[in-house]
């Protein structure tokens, strides 16, 4: 599948990201496998989970959004 062509209308897709507003900060969304595990103190338990960057494409014609989980960039692997 070509992520630069919209599956709905055939229009051009532009890459971007969904902004996550939390606790007064702006962040980029990430994807984690499995069911969410909640923590009373930190919100979500993420120990042992691989996080993937989420890139979202927006159709410039019809507005459809398509998101993909991509391998993390080197500077995110700490």
Residue 57 above 50 pLDDT? yes
- φ/ψ (deg, to 5) at 76: -95, -5
Classified as helix, coil or strand, 76 is helix
DSSP state, residue 12? B
Residues ≥6 apart with Cβ < 8 Å to 45: 37, 38, 39
Is the whole model's pTM more than 0.85, yes or no? no
Residue 56 above 80 pLDDT? yes
Task: Report the half-sphere exposure of 1 (CA within 13 A, side-chain side).
Answer: 8
Residue 64 above 60 pLDDT? yes
- Alpha-carbon distance of 36 to 43, in angstroms, equals 10
């Amino acid at each position: 599948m070509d992520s630069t062509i919209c599956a709905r209308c055939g229009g051009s897709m532009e890459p971007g990201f969904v902004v996550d507003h939390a606790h007064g900060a702006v962040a980029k969304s990430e994807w984690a496998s499995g069911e969410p595990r909640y923590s009373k103190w930190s919100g979500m338990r993420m120990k042992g989970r691989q996080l993937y960057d989420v890139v979202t494409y927006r159709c410039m014609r019809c507005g459809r959004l398509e998101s993909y989980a991509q391998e993390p960039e080197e500077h995110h692997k700490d």
